[in-house]
Amino acid sequence: MTENSEVDKSRLVRNGLLLLIPGLVGAFAVYLLWQSNPDPDYWRGIFNQILSYLKDNPWALLAAVATLPGIGFPISPLLFLFGVVLAPKYGMPATCALGILAQSFCTIWTYLLASGPLRDVLKSFIRRRRELPQLTDSNTLRLGLILRITPGIPYALQNIVLGILGMRLKPYLIVSIPITGLWTIGFIVTGGAIFEGRAGLAITGVLLLIVLVIFTRMLRGRTGTDDG
């Protein structure tokens, strides 16, 4: 009982650090940028220039969502911006479909690299610190589900871990695309609705995100119970 309690505490601390460290780094970066020019109009002008460029070149935002999260860039701001930029032009359903398509592409290429050309390199790097477990297909599927529903684990890291562990492509897509697709819709709808001043739709997007958080916690708790 004590051993399980220690494991739970260690896991809680680890997840907390995964959430806290990127937040602190981001907050520090924002602070440095603000100190370099503490003028709201200056930053508002830059933001409007970025929006204008992306509206004229929507392919750039599609490319960003399809590539940057795979190398560690936070995905939620990109999806939020996706709704702001593309929803007025293409409509919300088409924008959500494009967002899911772009993120799915990112989900697939990071997995293919980690499970293919880079697998041996990544495995040898990890083995310097710990031995990789040998998992059956069912255990790998369960692990994939846990990774997808556990808050705080970086998106790119999830893809890489599942690729290194040798999860087959079909179950990888089954546990990845539906869950990430729902998060994508939530962020896109929220971003587009807030920017357009559509309070009802914005509340719907926020409620979807809240429901997803509650559902993933319930599912993770049930998964943990089954493991026990």
pLDDT in tens, 165-200: 888 889 899 989 988 888 888 888 887 766 655 555
Residue listed under structure tokens 């709704």: 83
| Burial (0-12, 13-18, 19+ Cβ within 10 Å), 22 | middle
Digit-by-digit pLDDT tens for the chain (228 residues) are 455 555 455 655 555 555 566 566 666 776 777 777 777 777 778 878 888 888 889 999 999 999 999 988 888 889 888 888 898 888 888 999 999 999 999 999 999 998 888 887 777 776 666 666 666 777 778 878 888 877 667 888 888 888 888 888 898 999 899 888 888 888 888 877 666 555 555 555 555 555 555 555 555 555 554 554
pLDDT of residue 89: 86
Whole-number average pLDDT of the chain:
76
Beta carbons within 8 Å of 54's beta carbon, 6+ residues apart: 60, 61, 81, 85
The pTM assigned to this predicted structure is: 0.70
Cα torsion for 31, 17, 209, 70, to the nearest 10°?
Answer: 80
Q: What is the pLDDT of residue 225?
A: 47
Sign of CA dihedral 38, 42, 48, 49: negative
Cβ neighbours of residue 13 under 8 Å, at least 6 residues apart? Answer: none
Rg of the chain's alpha carbons, rounded to an integer?
19
Taking every pair of C-alpha atoms in the chain, what is the biggest distance, in angstroms? 59
CB contact at 8 A, 58 and 85: yes
| Euclidean distance between the first and the last CA atom of the chain, given in angstroms as a whole number | 12
Taking CB atoms within 8 Å and a gap of at least 24, the contacts of 75-79 are: 75/103, 75/155, 76/187, 79/103, 79/183, 79/184, 79/187, 79/188, 79/191
**Rounded Cα distance, 164 and 182, in Å:** 25
Among residues 112, 170, 179, 113, which one has the least CA distance to residue 145?
179
Q: What is the pLDDT of residue 173?
A: 92
Residue 101 · residue 188 · CB < 8 Å: no
- Give me the pLDDT at residue 19, please: 54
In the chain, where the domains are located: 58-227
